[in-house]
Structure 1
């Protein structure tokens, strides 16, 4: 198991992850950090919990919009055999995003 430190909303979080996932988790933390900064700018004085809540809501909203867009494209285009592979890849990626979102939304281990 590898260890990494993420910096989100002014806090440091030490996490364990599978070897090689450090850069990916750092990238995801960057996405959350940007949304947390947006929340803090829009509503100064938010508590840490509310900042992270709004960051999660912003990200969930983006994910929801992407899912609707993908679903709309699937309905608009008749699928032949070659497009089935692309659709399956999108479904797999969507499932991975949801799983990562659930893992990040779980309890945070403080150092």
Structure 2
């Protein structure tokens, strides 16, 4: 399988990354996103590449955590789901009674 190379510039440093053919634009977009996040942090100027990438990892992990927390079901969601499930059960029972009444008529 062939690979492509993409060069990303993050926090003033250039990194060459291998990717599957056709994924170049996506990888470049991810690199830009990371670079933009890091550009907001003045504290990173003059830091080592390892420290810059550590901060990038922490920022992205925090963003992922917040997104997961925002999409996690809440007790209200659970309560609504339970109510809908009970309604569906009652409707199904009613439909069965109606069908059996029609069949015996």
Q: TM-score, normalised by structure 1?
A: 0.59
Structure 1 residues 28-81: Cα deviation after superposition (integer angstroms, max 9, x where no partner) = 001111122123x1454432221221121111101000001111369625298x
After TM superposition, what 4+ stretches of structure 1 lie above 4 angstroms from structure 2?
none
By relative contact order (CA 8 Å, sep 6+), the higher-ranking structure is: 1
Is 1:65 aligned to residue 66 of structure 2? yes
1:35 matched residue in structure 2? 37
Q: In structure 2, do the counterparts of structure 1 residues 75 and 66 end up closer, same or farther at CA, with 3 Å as the change threshold?
A: farther
Q: In structure 2, do the counterparts of structure 1 residues 65 and 15 end up closer, same or farther at CA, with 3 Å as the change threshold?
A: same
What RMSD, in angstroms, separates the aligned Cα atoms of the two structures? 2.4
1:12 to 4, 8, 14: 14
Give the structure with higher Rg (CA): 2
1:24 to 23, 26, 34: 26
Structure 1 gaps, min length 5: 81-111
Larger mean CA deviation between 19-28 and 42-51 belongs to 42-51
Check conservation: 1:3, 1:14, Cα contact below 8 A: yes
Aligned pairs, number: 79
1:100 matched residue in structure 2? none
